[in-house]
Amino acid sequence: MQKRTLGKSGLEVSALGLGCMGMSFSYGPPKNTQEMISLLRTAVERGVTFFDTAEVYGPFINEELVGEALSPLRDRVVIATKFGFNTAVDPRGMKGGAPALNSRPEHIKQVAEDSLKRLRIDAIDLFYQHRVDPDVPIEDVAGAVKELIQEGKVRYFGLSEAGAQTIRRAHAVQPVAAVQNEYSLWWRRPEEEILPTIEELGIGLVAYSPLGKGFLTGRIDENTTFDSSDFRTTLPRFTAEARKANQAMVDLLAAIAAQKNGTPAQIALAWLLARKPWIVPIPGTTKLNRLDENIGAVDIELTVNDLDDIDNAAAQITVEGARYPEKLEQMTNR
């Protein structure tokens, strides 16, 4: 597995990480614990070193899973987790309502202590603010994480779905190692302001939902049915009508995959890897064959001409449907 460094931070991770959320949360009922432990450990054996979780995933059970699976392999992995939701008030807030936020410094420090215990580690490698809290100045947030870094409880600071000016203000207090954003061929808004800002500042990008929450794999169509606990049932982009309209993007990936002897998912990931050397996608999966398929994307090389062809073709496609319900979208790019 190739390695990448997140910006100028010095934090080195595998070129492809693993998003762990779906093992416990959002994509239907929690999966079998022992099967997921086996999958996580196999990912390490395959060369994946970068694992992404958060206290709100469950809440709490995803961190516990990651901790149980990876604590015996601690010296081989980089673990990222997140703070910023008030799980006591609204543990299921990410289902489409307006989640309760809490990034007060004292709360951040308590979350860090609790996450350390669940993850069975002495220091959190990368600690993200999950969503910007408009009631707490970002300088106070960055200051709280800075103190945790000075205490040795956190190694690096990250932000998720923050706006460009917020990133600059936070970075001035405590250098930001990585910004986590949804980024894929069908959600390219980070290219407008976020990518230029973090490139200027020397910050890495961790791309979540790089496979469009599963849609860009080509295994979801207008006839797919989702479990009632699957949060995609709340997303405008996943209505049957939107899925039918958005099939054109999958068809594009499939056409390129045929030329490159790959799969649509591999092309979607290879496209991200080819954009910038400081971009690290974190596709999630609960299946070993999909893990191996995703890892195979690292070996697919897209040339400058390939990227131009993809961009030109994608520019002709209008993606239908908002990515989040309005209340959740309002919490991004602050």
What digits encode the pLDDT tens for the residues 202-256?
999 999 999 999 999 999 999 999 999 899 999 999 999 999 999 999 999 999 9
Tens of pLDDT, residue by residue over 86-110, are: 987 655 545 445 678 999 999 999 9
Instruction: Specify the pLDDT at position 87.
Output: 84
248 occurs within a structural domain:
no
- What's at 279, amino acid-wise? I
Residue 86's CATH number: 3.20.20.100
- The reply to whether 218 falls in a domain is no
User: Which pLDDT value is given to residue 49?
Assistant: 98
How many domains would you assign to the chain? 1
Domain containing residue 11: 3-211+275-299
Which one from 27, 57, 156, 208 is the annotated catalytic residue?
Answer: 57
User: Is 241 contained in some domain?
Assistant: no
Residue 316 lies in a domain: no
- Residue 44 to residues 113, 114, 130, Cα–Cα distance (Å): 25, 24, 25
Q: Answer yes or no: 57 catalytic.
A: yes
d(C-alpha 41, C-alpha 38), whole Å: 5
By CB neighbour count within 10 A (0-12 exposed, 13-18 middle, 19+ buried), where does 333 fall? middle
166: tokens are 């917020």
Q: Is 198 helix (H, G, I), strand (E, B) or coil?
A: helix
pLDDT, one tens digit per residue, over 174-202 is 999 999 999 999 999 999 999 999 999 99
Residue 222 in domain? no
Residue 115 lies in a domain: yes
Rg (CA), the chain: 19
Does residue 70 fall inside a structural domain? yes
Instruction: Tell me the pTM.
Output: 0.96
What's the rounded Cα separation, in Å, for the pair 3 and 147?
29
Give the separation between CA 128 and CA 157, rounded to whole angstroms. Answer: 6
Does residue 4 contact residue 280 with C-beta atoms inside 8 Å? yes
